[in-house]
Amino acid sequence: MPIYEYICPNCGLIFDHFWPSIQAAEGAAPPPCPTCGASQTQRIMSRVAVLGGLGGLTPSEQAAADAQAERLAKITPKEQIEKLRAGRKSSSVQG
Ligand SMILES: [Zn+2]
């Protein structure tokens, strides 16, 4: 089950969205922002986790990472969002 991270260009929220499959994630429109409801959310390619797949983080590490991401999302300034966008553009992701 892939988890994709999205950023809301309207309010700056970064949030995770669970998809039943990678195919579903690729084929569907991005999920709307859970905070402001904007539908123009953008997927952040740099952080994709697959549950039960690569076995990267332990549950406690994952919880810590999630907590940090949540903290960051709350204080994310516009510059940071721009940086994320720039990084997303410059890094070429091969499927
Ligand atoms: Zn939003």
Q: Distance between CA 20 and CA 3 in Å, rounded? A: 9
Share of the chain residues as helix, strand and coil, in percent rounded to the nearest 5? 40, 20, 40
pLDDT beyond 80 at 36: yes
**Alpha-helical segments (H) within the chain:** 22-27, 59-75, 78-90
What are the boundaries of each domain within the chain?
A: 2-80
Residues near ion ligand 1 (Cβ under 5 Å) = 8, 10-11, 13, 33, 35-36, 38
pLDDT digits (tens, 9 = 90+) for 40-94: 999 887 655 555 544 566 777 777 777 777 777 776 677 777 777 787 665 555 5
**How far, in Å, from the CA of 9 to the mean position of ligand 1?**
7
Residue 34 backbone phi and psi in degrees, to 5:
-70, -15
pLDDT digits (tens, 9 = 90+) for 79-94: 777 777 787 665 555 5
Residue 87 backbone phi and psi in degrees, to 5:
-65, -35
